[in-house]
Amino acid sequence: MTTLAEIEQEIGNVLAVADELDEEQEQPALAYLEELGVQETEKADGVIYALRKRQSEIQFLKDEEDRIRSRRKSAEKRLQEFKDYLASIFQREGITRIRALKGTLYLRQSSSVEVTDTESLPADLVHTKVSFEPKKKDIRERLNSGEEVPGARLNTAQQLCVR
């Protein structure tokens, strides 16, 4: 099967010698160019189809990730609600432990810290994070205007677009 690059190269080859063709050779050359044009279109359509199919598969996987994540969170919430319900029954009835064949249900004391005002905490009990985020939009504007920005450069690339 001929590749798109090979088709493009063959079109370039025919066009390169087009000026040297006499009238007798011109008609077959034009017919061959037309055939190459049809092949080019069919090949490009195949590439576009493959790209769109891949994009569709990726979108499907993203949607599935969201759906499954939602189901997991819902199941986790229902599990926690059920545990809270059982804990309330244990507390109401004064039960501390139930032993069964497959395991033991019991209440355990736990504690957690709730910080109500971060500003009031002593400095040795606060972890300070410093982060620097470049202002890429401002950097781009300066670089595009010809200014030099130490520590930054403007990279250009070409991307394939499908419409």
Q: What is the pLDDT of residue 23?
A: 82
Residue 17 C-beta-side C-alpha neighbours within 13 Å = 12
Q: What per-residue string of b and e applies to 85-118 under the rule 16 or more CB within 10 Å gives b?
A: eeeeebeeeeeeeeeeeeeeeeeeeeeeeeeeee
| Statement: the pTM of the whole predicted model exceeds 0.75 | no
pLDDT tens digits for 78-88?
A: 999 999 999 99
Lowest-pLDDT choice from 1-15, 66-80, 81-95: 1-15
Q: Which tokens go with 94?
A: 């004064």
pLDDT tens digits for 139-149?
A: 999 999 999 99
